[in-house]
Structure 1
Amino acid sequence: MTASMTAFARRETHQPWGSLSWEIRSVNQRYLEPSFRLPDSLRELEPALRQQLRQSLSRGKLDLTLRFYPAQQDKSLQLDTELLDQVIEAADQIYARMPSAAPLDPLKLLQWPGVLQSQEADHETVKQVALQVFNEALDELQQHRLREGEALAKAITERLQQMVKHLKTAKTLLPEALQKWRENLLERAAKLQVDVDPARLEQEVVLLAQKQDIEEELDRLAVHIREVTRALKSKEPIGRRLDFLMQEMNREANTLGSKAISMDMTQVSVDLKVLIEQMREQVQNIE
């Protein structure tokens, strides 16, 4: 299915040890260009996140933000009394050798590593949950991109249908334009009181018809329309292919304009180029 590169997703989870939230914003870009904003404590996750992203997306500029809010811990102090007794015993041994030493400060004991216990969350648990929530946010982003892509495909298809109508119109205009050119030539010759050789006139009409033949351009445009329609049904990324096809269609429409010998044919060329430009703008957002 057609996928847009413009999307947004947000997922979060709340755990006893805190909360995690992911925000992913995606806009159009020629290549895959992710930018991660991670807490320092979870910076090591970035390689795994990038690998997961490459497996899911092929194009787009993405801003990916992870926020981690640790839970407020119980404010009561938790002491490792066994370790504290060992520290005090060691201090007593020092006092026995140095009776003149300053008295032991209880606050200094609290600063001893391990005496004051913390209730921090297990780091590996936080990492695993962060990866899980990231995958959920990525799935949500992809669903958003597919919904946007479906709308883009519908808009492009509508314009392709309008192009088909203009191509049919162009095929009927050329004979009429040649006949009008023939009549105008005869009218000018009559005003100038010049005798026109019928054989020479028909020869000029044939030469003009050959020079202004647009069948080839119309056929190529029809082929491009079919190819765009086929690409819109593909399950693979199609943005670059569609961008190329838009360039080719615009080139053929310009050629039609250069060969126009009537205002009606010129208008058809202009209408085609307007539709192609509208589609090209939509294509810029397709993955």
Structure 2
Amino acid sequence: MIQSMTGFGKHVVQLPSKKITVELKSLNSKNLDINARLPQAYREKELELRKAISESLVRGKVDLNLNVEITGEETTAEINEGVVKKYMGQLRSIAPGDDVKLLEMALRMPDALKTDKNDIDEEEFRAIKQALKQALEKITLFRTQEGKELEKDFNLRIQNIFALLEEIKKIDPERIKALRERLEKAVSDLKVEVDENRFEQELIYYLEKYDITEEKVRLANHLAYFQETMNSKESNGKKLGFISQEMGREINTIGSKANYAPMQQLVVQMKDELEKIKEQMLNVL
């Protein structure tokens, strides 16, 4: 089973006087990169929230957005009356004006509002952690569903490469025959006498350099191992990436040894299928 690193999860908790919204978004990344946006009052709990995310999501660029909306009469901000009056007096001395306008200007000045920083209520933080847990479950479900779509595409590409490999196996004898005929013709065109035994030995040596038996076997093994890894219990995108690199090496070697147009055309199709796998591999957890 594979998972995507792309996902979204959101959960809302309604308390008597507050509405808490936890939102998670994730994209592909080589490692876990968490960007947390929290109200200032909740910054002291950031490490605990990050730990919960890292234990669940493992990899990806994750955005955490915690929004706390006050829905009751509760508020932690108050007008700093003494400071506001002093601002109004200073403004009045500079340019006399209407008290309402002076008040509007004074309220925009620094320290016009004061906030009592109280400790976070434990019950409230438990609600936040529960909301985060629910959001993590939703984003994990999202990633799993996206992973299923990726798995379908990977299986299709792997089967296509398997089919192309079978075509290569079928035409390989024709390729060797064509290579042999080409060499024999080149020698006959020279119109010189050659030692038949020596020529046969050199011909065999030359054809062995173009033998792709090992590459065909290794590529088939890599394809099977890729499918086996996809079907494992945990998603392992890095391992699948390594296997796809090995597949690419074998395909490139077959292409370099082919020296036969029909086989080279099949190799190009293999490379196209593998490139599509690699593109999607960037999203696999």
With normalisation by structure 1, the TM-score equals 0.78
Q: Distance in 1 between matches of 2:235 and 2:187?
A: 59
Whether the 8 Å CA contact 1:39–1:66 is kept in 2: the answer is yes
SS of match in other structure, 1:217: helix
The residue number in structure 2 matching 1:261 is 259
2:234 & 2:49 partners in 1: Cα distance? 22
Any residues of structure 2 matched to 1:242-253 within 5 Å, and which? 242-253=240-251
Task: Give the alignment partner of residue 228 of structure 2, picking from 218, 227, 230.
Answer: 230
CA RMSD of aligned residues (A): 2.4
CA distance in 2, matches of 1:121, 1:179: 83
Is it true that 1:152 corresponds to 2:146 in the alignment?
Answer: no
Identify the range of structure 1 (187-196 vs 52-61) with the bigger mean alpha-carbon deviation: 187-196
Greater Cα radius of gyration, structure 1 or 2: 1
Q: Which runs of 5+ in 1 are unaligned?
A: 76-117
> Aligned residue for 2:124?
126
Alignment of 1:184-263 (within 5 A): 184-188=182-186, 199=197, 202-263=200-261
CA distance in 1, matches of 2:38, 2:169: 60
Secondary structure at the aligned position of 2:4 is classed as coil
Percent identical residues: 35
Verify the 8 A CA contact 1:21 1:68 in the aligned structure 2: yes
Shift of 1:270: 1.6
The aligned amino acid for 1:13 is V
Alpha-carbon deviation of 1:10? 1.6
- CA deviations on 1:71-101 (whole Å, 9 max, x unpaired) are 14189xxxxxxxxxxxxxxxxxxxxxxxxxx
1:204 Cα deviation after fit? 4.1
- Seen in structure 2, the aligned counterparts of structure 1 residues 172 and 207 have a Cα distance that, compared at 3 Å, is farther
1:206-260: CA deviation from partner (whole Å, max 9, x where unpaired):
2232111111111111111111111111122311101111111111111111111
Q: Is the 8 A contact 2:17 2:74 kept in 1?
A: no
How far apart, in 1, do the equivalents of 2:135 and 2:207 lie? 60
Distance 1:263 1:212 in 2: 14
Deviation at 1:28, TM superposition (A): 0.7
The one-letter code sitting in structure 1 at the alignment partner of 2:223 is: I
| Long gaps (5+) in structure 2 | 76-115
